Amino acid sequence: MILSLDTNALVELANGRRQQVRDAFDAALADGDEMLVSVLVAHELRYGAQLSRRAREIDLTEALLAQFPIVPFTEEDAGGATRVRVALERVGRRIGAMDMLIAGQAVNRGWAVVTANVHEFDRVAGLQVIDWTAAKSP
């Protein structure tokens, strides 16, 4: 499976506060899942780091992003995002602009999105959403 890591999933991995996120990441690696980062997510992370104006935050962000392939957003991805946006607007269930682009790229390419922002991404038909922060049943 190809897993597109959303911004909050990457932040959770970086801060290491939730063992279940690290365990889910390790399990995905063991299962042979391919993990990547959309250039849109890379933008969100870099934007947050630049806003902090702390060199350490910027360096940590770049080190985190260096661990994954960063995939460009293509014309075909724009078409996928357009289809997602039209479908959501037709049923009155809009999501944020960046999430819509990220979801559209993932749907276009057949990726699953790893995110804690399930509320937004679950609205997208045909998108597999994985939440590594969700509490696991005993």
Q: What angle do CA 117, 28, 13 make, to 5 degrees?
A: 50
- What token pair was written down for 72? 């460009």
pLDDT in tens, 104-138: 999 999 999 999 989 999 999 999 999 999 866 44
Please tell me the predicted confidence (pLDDT) of residue 45: 95
Instruction: Tell me whether residue 136 is in a domain.
Output: no
pLDDT in tens, 9-50: 999 998 888 889 999 999 999 999 999 999 999 999 999 999
Instruction: Tell me whether residue 124 is in a domain.
Output: yes
pLDDT in tens, 54-84: 888 899 999 999 999 999 999 999 999 999 9
Bridge partners, 71 (sequence order): 38
Task: Write out the residue range of the structural domain in which residue 53 sits.
Answer: 2-130
Instruction: Tell me whether residue 135 is in a domain.
Output: no
Task: Give the number of domains in the chain.
Answer: 1
**Could you give the CA distance from residue 53 to residue 9 in angstroms, rounded to a whole number?**
22
Q: What is the CATH number of the domain that holds 54?
A: 3.40.50.1010
